[in-house]
Amino acid sequence: MIFERSKILYLFLFTSISVFSQYTETVNSNRPGFSQGAFSVGKNILQFEAGFGIGNEEHLLLNKKTDAFIIDYNVRYGVWKEELEISLIGAYQSNSVTLTESGATFKERNFISNTVGAKYLFFDPYRKKQLEKPNLYSWKANNGFKWKDLIPAISLYAGANFDQADNPITHFPNNGITFFNPELETGLEISPTIAIATQNNWGRWVFVINLIGERITLDEKSYSYILTLTHAFTAKLSAFIETQGIKSDFYADQLVRGGAAYLVNKDFQVDAAFLVNFKDTPSRQYGRLGVSYRLDMHKKDEYIEEKGKAGRAEKRKEKNNIKKKENKRLDRIDFEDGDGLNL
């Protein structure tokens, strides 16, 4: 799936997200799952997510076995606004295929997908939660379950797929199955992908949903969903479980993934994961290892403004704070906690 970036989003990263700003103090990776979280990497953050997988497939109807090696990659960059990121998501696969009836073997290799797209966060309920003042008289009111906690952050993803018409990995002329326009023998076929990503942050748990339509202008369009649940055991170690359902005219499947990630430092993460399915056309088993690394060029948080009356009140408050700072004595040393020392 081209939408792997997934996703997974680790809980210890999300709990540190400012509800006003997309920027996080630690790398915010979609790996090792295939889903995308609702939040972007933050403005001026350039992030690389890559890995490799080894696995095998056996197709009983086509009487063939495949040993596969896959390299997947995701380059993400936060641009213009804190809510927006652009990305290149893709994968390259090399297969060693054995025809079980004849014993013949052959190799095939090419890109599975290359998709250039953008994701924009258009609804963030956690921003309003930060504006709410705590109840000084009730611990339960501050920490108890609230129905509004079920409301997720929501983002929209749109991208363009660039597929080769003569790709042996995705083009099966002997079976009459192709991702592309059958009239195209060479060249590129460009088609759109759209997706909705939602994200709930519940303490040490994060729940992500992706609803995806791929190559939606082609006859071989596909639709899928991804559900990802992540749990943080410590500030550095997290684990996830994920299921993905895929439906199209040429392929349908139900995939299960699981794995873990470890935060080496604030800008570098390593991960491991597995994939299995429950069918024989084909059966699939894969193991994956990967890394995520970011170049943090984020200079300052650019706060996401609150709309309407609340937003205007925040702007007035900010202006008043600026005026107070300008009126301070020049011989006053200010500390981060707001206290000062008069010389």
* Predicted confidence band of residue 314 (pLDDT cuts 50, 70, 90): low
Percent of the chain scoring above 90 in pLDDT: 55
Is residue 49 included in any domain, yes or no? yes
292 shares its domain with 324: no
Is residue 1 included in any domain, yes or no? no
* Predicted confidence band of residue 313 (pLDDT cuts 50, 70, 90): low
279 shares its domain with 318: no
Is residue 3 included in any domain, yes or no? no
**Number of CB atoms found within 10 A of residue 252's CB:** 13
* Predicted confidence band of residue 142 (pLDDT cuts 50, 70, 90): low
Residue 145 has pLDDT above 90, yes or no: no
| Window from 76-90, 140-154, 207-221, 296-310 with minimum mean pLDDT | 296-310
Segment 10-22 mean pLDDT: 41
Long-range contacts, stretch 231-235, CB < 8 angstroms, 24+ apart: 231/11, 231/204, 231/205, 232/10, 232/11, 232/12, 232/15, 232/204, 234/12, 235/12, 235/263
Instruction: Report pLDDT for 338.
Output: 43
Beta carbons within 8 Å of 136's beta carbon, 6+ residues apart: none
330 shares its domain with 254: no
State the CATH number of the domain containing residue 17: 2.40.160.40
Q: Concatenate the DSSP letters of all residues of 295-330 into one string.
A: EE---S----PPPHHHHHHHHHHHHHHHHHHHTS-T
Instruction: Report pLDDT for 242.
Output: 98
Strands (DSSP E) contained in 60-104 are 64-78, 84-99
284 shares its domain with 331: no
Tally of domains in the chain: 2
Percent of the chain scoring above 70 in pLDDT: 71
342 shares its domain with 236: no
Is residue 126 included in any domain, yes or no? yes
Residue scoring higher pLDDT (251 or 52)? 52
Is residue 122 included in any domain, yes or no? yes
Q: Residue 4's closest CA among 255, 203, 175, 173?
A: 255
256 shares its domain with 311: no
Distance (Å, whole) CA 38 – CA 226: 13
Is residue 124 included in any domain, yes or no? yes
249 shares its domain with 339: no
Model confidence over 213-272: pLDDT tens digits?
Answer: 999 998 778 999 999 999 999 999 999 999 999 998 888 999 999 999 999 999 999 999
Measured at the alpha carbon of residue 3, what is the angle toward residues 91 and 195, in degrees to the nearest 5?
Answer: 155
Is residue 4 included in any domain, yes or no? no
67 shares its domain with 179: yes
Average pLDDT, the chain: 80
- Extract the tokens encoding 218: 């082609």
85 shares its domain with 102: yes
Is residue 119 included in any domain, yes or no? yes
Distance (Å, whole) CA 5 – CA 233: 22
Instruction: Print the domain residue range for 22.
Output: 11-304
312 shares its domain with 233: no
- Extract the tokens encoding 198: 């939602």
Model confidence over 55-98: pLDDT tens digits?
Answer: 999 999 989 999 999 999 999 999 988 999 999 999 999 999 99
Residue scoring higher pLDDT (325 or 96)? 96
224 shares its domain with 328: no
108 shares its domain with 134: yes
Instruction: Report pLDDT for 301.
Output: 56
